Amino acid sequence: MSFKEKGLLVVLSGPSGVGKGTVCKALRSRGTQLQYSISVTTRKPREGEIDGVHYFFKTRDQFQQMIRQEKLLEWAEYVGNCYGTPTDYVRKTLDEGQDVILEIEVQGALQVKRRFPEALFIFLAPPNLMELKKRIIGRGTETADLIESRMTVAKSEMELMQNYNYVVENDQVEKACDRIEAIVLAEHCRVDRLIEKYTNLEGADGQ
Ligand SMILES: Nc1ncnc2c1ncn2[C@@H]1O[C@H](COP(=O)(O)OP(=O)(O)OP(=O)(O)O)[C@@H](O)[C@H]1O
Ligand SMILES: Nc1nc2c(ncn2[C@@H]2O[C@H](COP(=O)(O)O)[C@@H](O)[C@H]2O)c(=O)[nH]1
């Protein structure tokens, strides 16, 4: 009898501008074995963002329809726009035994926790709030008003950190990637994930 381990669901969240996207991109270019779920959003594309690559861009009506049809694993309204994770891709990829990473804000992460308590929750934290603001400004994608709104949300998101399994400081991108890779590796070795495999050892050689 062969034991097929299900993929691990990794939730990476943290305030806007902390570097979630940057860290995920760096993990990807290292070849880290994580599949990236592409979210659905009602936000307008930023310059250079491609539909189906960075997000699936939808109208509010289309997004509402996805909610009604229960196509979203989680969703949240964030600073005037809606964001959500398509369920099908996540379930299919986990069932194939591949790990999936969701790059989402905190309200959505809490919904995932209720539905998938066994998922791994990592909070990416900035060295401090001044540095966070500097990063959002430096990215050059938001108006001054939106930067203030995102900073206000960021402060309340930081207070929800205790709902996560790990906090990783994104002081340097490569160090943050090292820490995330180590956490994911350790999670794969947890007894509660592997016990089924090792309690069925006898079946493995046909005895
Ligand atoms: N460790 C770091 N040191 C300095 N700058 C960083 C670091 N990580 C990311 N940045 C920069 O911070 C800015 C925001 O990063 P990024 O867009 O990845 O954040 P994010 O958390 O994905 O934001 P959002 O949640 O809004 O999508 C970018 O300009 C990026 O280059
Ligand atoms: N709850 C969810 N949050 C998501 C999802 N995809 C992205 N996000 C988060 O939204 C904010 C804003 O993103 P931006 O691209 O407009 O800067 C940020 O924290 C993202 O991580 C999702 O599917 N669900």
Instruction: Kindly state if the Cβ of 83 falls inside 6 Å of ligand 2.
Output: yes
* Domain locations along the chain: 1-34+99-207, 38-97
Instruction: Kindly state if the Cβ of 157 falls inside 6 Å of ligand 2.
Output: no
ipTM value, please give it.
0.98
198 or 85: which leads in pLDDT: 85
Q: Flag whether pLDDT at 149 surpasses 70.
A: yes
pLDDT band at 200 (very low <50, low <70, confident <90, very high): confident
Give distance in angstroms: CA of 58 to centre of ligand 1. 24
In Å, what is the CA distance from 170 to each residue of 33, 76, 127? 20, 24, 7
pLDDT band at 207 (very low <50, low <70, confident <90, very high): low
In Å, what is the CA distance from 63 to each residue of 113, 123, 144, 153, 196? 22, 26, 27, 22, 39
**What distance, in Å, lies between the first and last C-alpha atoms of the chain?**
10
What pLDDT is attached to residue 3?
A: 61
Q: Flag whether pLDDT at 161 surpasses 50.
A: yes
- 10 Å Cβ neighbour count for 110? 17
What pLDDT is attached to residue 205?
A: 59
- Residue set of the binding site for ATP: 14-21
CATH superfamily of 1-34+99-207: P-loop containing nucleotide triphosphate hydrolases (3.40.50.300)
The yes or no reply on domain 38-97 and CATH 3.30.63.10 is yes
**Digit-coded pLDDT (tens) for 69-105:** 999 999 999 999 999 999 999 999 999 999 999 999 9
pTM of the model: 0.94
Mean pLDDT score of the chain: 94
Q: What is the arithmetic mean of pLDDT over 107-136?
A: 97
